[in-house]
Structure 1
């Protein structure tokens, strides 16, 4: 299926790459179909991917694996909020954090409070508000990226 995207132009997307968010995501409740895109020209899996709406090509949100930012990330959620996704296991559970990257990248943040939870088997997802009191909506990450770059340079 051909889809238009914000940063990658028109792409041919396989049906099994479509993730359905029955309730949409916060602020975009009417948009239900998404995919995850990334630039893989260098051959490495990128740190940041794009959560691309298939209902509106202009909606593309940078996302990241939470363990890159916070190694002990362990969100507490009500089980009832995940029932619609199907049975979640270590093998099919994908958790992503949305990012905000302003023009001053030193102010870049991730949302630890409302991760995207995806079941890769059922291709269903939901954005959940976690119960953890110490998780911020705007957790600054610029310093973490500097440390990652230093570590990569040392290898």
Structure 2
């Protein structure tokens, strides 16, 4: 399947389609998505840490995501029985947890704005993807601050 996105044409294998049965808040009509890394003109990854969740149903919608650990944050999530059923989750190790990113700058500037150092992470609503069943959801967490800034890991 071919998609015409803001990143150019993407060829998506049907095995890489992730279904969000209820969509994502704000994008409820988009239930089919895929993950990909943005590539430069040489075919190399623009960022090793940012992936894009691309809507298949609306080619104009793409959400930058990353692992929460890049922001010094690790989740201990408790899923309800209905969330486990929605994800068709048999093993907790099958869940990929990602957070959405937004640019700190109101107006994008030149350079690599997709580097986590230029981004805020929305930790109050992680994206959960069952890597076995390719089913996803966004879990809204009550009582969490909504954004954190990038905290690079320092290795001594």
Q: Shorter-chain TM-score: which interval? A: 0.7 to 0.9
* SS of match in other structure, 1:46: coil
- Equivalent pairs counted in the alignment come to 144
Unaligned runs of 5+ in 1: none
Q: Deviations over 1:70-97 (max 9, x none)?
A: 3433233433223111124244211110
Q: TM-score, normalised by structure 2?
A: 0.78
Q: Deviations over 1:27-63 (max 9, x none)?
A: 1111111111103644797111111111111111110
* SS of match in other structure, 1:112: strand
Residue 110 (structure 2) aligns with: none
Measured in 2, the distance between the counterparts of 1:88 and 1:107 equals 36
The Cα RMSD (Å) is 2.6
Q: TM-score, normalised by structure 1?
A: 0.79
Residue 50 (structure 1) aligns with: 52
Residue 75 (structure 1) aligns with: 77
Unaligned runs of 5+ in 2: 107-112
| 8 Å CA contact 2:38, 2:46 repeated in 1 | no
Residue 23 (structure 1) aligns with: 22
